[in-house]
Structure 1
Amino acid sequence: MDWKGTLNNQQDLQGIHQVPATPFAGYAIGIIAVDLKYPKLPGNVANATTFSFPVLYEVVEFEIEQLFAGAGEIEEQIIAAAKKLESRGVRAIVGACGYFGHFQQVVADTVDIPVFLSSISQIPLIKLSLKKTQKILTLVASGEDITPEFFQQSGADLADCVICEIGSLESFAPIRWGKTKLDNQRLTDDLVATVKQQLAENPAIGAVLLECSDLPPYACAIQQATGLAVFDFITLINWVYTAVVQRPYYGHF
């Protein structure tokens, strides 16, 4: 793909550019999202106002439990979604659920652009920042589907983490089961309390990772309550975006 499509100033518009022939342009990040109905607050990966740049969604339709389990029958639909996003000119593809990580390698082998389907792909880098004895508290939506093999698909080591399931929280139920009414303050309080309890029980925790794409709206509250670095899908997506849309620097010296 020819990346001459980045225009930096008005003078650039006068040049000759070869760019992908697509119905629309300017979407660097493509997001594969499951068709789920529930309140999606700013900060949620499925809320486009979360981002300071345009994103392009491709919706897949299957039960979220199939994604949690990495069911083989949904693989082709996920691959097709990735191919469609690539054909529309995105420069990188991410998932809107950490459990898309089941399909990280097969999708990366299928397309010719960077693929980061799960927030847990950040674990090796987070671990590098910590003491050897420290762990990463990882909040997940479905604890029963967390296995070493699942983590390995995203280049992560389960042994580096303390896993905490939040999918069973009553305040998380509207997200987990697709309801239209969400008590946001209650969920915020429950998540903060959960993290504080984990820290009290596990002094070795040195950072927090939010696996679920619905949890970034609560990252700030968790950080304010703990003082720890909090990583999530948005830290991942912003990092990927800056890599695939590099910009020139202006200033003086």
Structure 2
Amino acid sequence: MTLQERRPLGILELDEGISVESPLRTPRPGSLLNPTTFDRPIITETVQGAWPDTVIRGDSSLEDAYVAAARRLVERGVAVISSDGGFFIRHQAAVAAAVNVPVAMSSLLLAPTLLRQLPPNHKLAVVAADSRHCHPDLLGLDNPTDLSRVVIGGVEGGEFLLNNLMRPPVRTDIEQIEKEVGGCIEQLRRRDPEIGIILLECTGFPYVKTAVIRRTGLPVYDITDLCRLTLASVF
């Protein structure tokens, strides 16, 4: 089956005020928005009002906009719906209830499964764009013992988040992203040497996943892994 014959992956996009002609519209290799990442077409719909800073903080008033954009993707024939923002997970339940295709809004959905891959004395590290808003209630873990085995860090205060909060955003060099993500992970591992798996929350982090694996020697998961798993279940 060729790329064109596969049903598309639908992506709910941030509202970033980027023109169609902007170089920022050209997806980097390995990114969520690059068709070659999944060997199938990508279709996007912007969630009106979902600016990066608003999404990171959370705004329940936008839920209708998320649902409307998801329904437009279904009308356009997508096989699966994901999103270009890990904090879109706040609207996972509402979108999943509104459409009849699989919905995988954030890599954070993987947290319960990844934790169970580890021995009881090991921990899961979640690396977010902004750990100040990556609250434990977004992880789908109710057991206090499970929650105690999760450590959360972020790259807030760095160039990557600053650039992404601009309107319109500015693209950050991959080397800088690698530096910031790597630095965050080093801090987490110094504090918690029991870390056994790393989960990247931000959809801007898959660019540096291979480098993180090489640097840490640990399994690393991101949104593209969740999408591949979900897409493998449909034509």
Interval containing the TM-score (normalised by the shorter chain): 0.7 to 0.9
Shift of 1:179: 4.0
Root-mean-square deviation (CA, aligned residues, Å) is 2.6
Q: 1:28–1:241: 8 Å Cα contact kept in structure 2?
A: no
State the SS of the aligned residue for 1:198. helix
Larger Rg: 1
State the SS of the aligned residue for 1:129. coil
State the SS of the aligned residue for 1:217. helix
**Aligned equivalents of 2:210, 2:234: Cα separation in 1:** 26
Shift of 1:166: 1.1
> Counterpart of 1:173 in structure 2: which amino acid?
L
Q: 1:27–1:56: 8 Å Cα contact kept in structure 2?
A: no
The answer for the alignment partner of 2:153 in structure 1 is 164
Shift of 1:69: 2.7
Taking the TM superposition and a 5 Å limit, the aligned residue runs for 1:97-176 are 97-152=85-140, 158-176=147-165
**Aligned equivalents of 2:223, 2:35: Cα separation in 1:** 13
The answer for the alignment partner of 2:30 in structure 1 is 43
Shift of 1:48: 3.8
Unaligned runs of 5+ in 1: 1-7, 10-23, 246-253
Shift of 1:52: 2.1
Comparing 37-46 with 72-81, which one deviates more in the overlay? 37-46
Unaligned runs of 5+ in 2: none
Change in CA separation of 1:176 and 1:137 when aligned onto 2, cut-off 3 Å: farther
Change in CA separation of 1:125 and 1:110 when aligned onto 2, cut-off 3 Å: same
**Aligned equivalents of 2:184, 2:137: Cα separation in 1:** 26
The answer for the alignment partner of 1:27 in structure 2 is 7
Q: Tell whether 2:217 aligns with 1:227.
A: yes
> Percent identity among equivalent residues?
27
Q: Tell whether 2:197 aligns with 1:207.
A: yes
Q: 1:138–1:164: 8 Å Cα contact kept in structure 2?
A: yes
State the SS of the aligned residue for 1:115. coil
Q: 2:164–2:171: 8 Å Cα contact kept in structure 1?
A: no
Among 180, 191, 199, the residue aligned to 2:181: 191
> Counterpart of 1:57 in structure 2: which amino acid?
T
Q: 2:159–2:172: 8 Å Cα contact kept in structure 1?
A: no
Change in CA separation of 1:146 and 1:192 when aligned onto 2, cut-off 3 Å: closer
Q: 1:96–1:213: 8 Å Cα contact kept in structure 2?
A: yes
Shift of 1:173: 2.7
Q: Tell whether 2:71 aligns with 1:55.
A: no
Change in CA separation of 1:102 and 1:200 when aligned onto 2, cut-off 3 Å: same
Among 212, 216, 232, the residue aligned to 1:242: 232
**Aligned equivalents of 1:171, 1:77: Cα separation in 2:** 26
The answer for the alignment partner of 1:217 in structure 2 is 207
> Counterpart of 1:33 in structure 2: which amino acid?
E
Q: 1:32–1:95: 8 Å Cα contact kept in structure 2?
A: yes
**Aligned equivalents of 2:224, 2:171: Cα separation in 1:** 24
Q: 1:119–1:232: 8 Å Cα contact kept in structure 2?
A: yes
Q: 2:174–2:207: 8 Å Cα contact kept in structure 1?
A: no
Shift of 1:191: 2.0
Shift of 1:58: 1.1
Query: TM-score w.r.t. structure 2 length?
Result: 0.84
Q: Aligned pairs, how many?
A: 223
Query: TM-score w.r.t. structure 1 length?
Result: 0.79
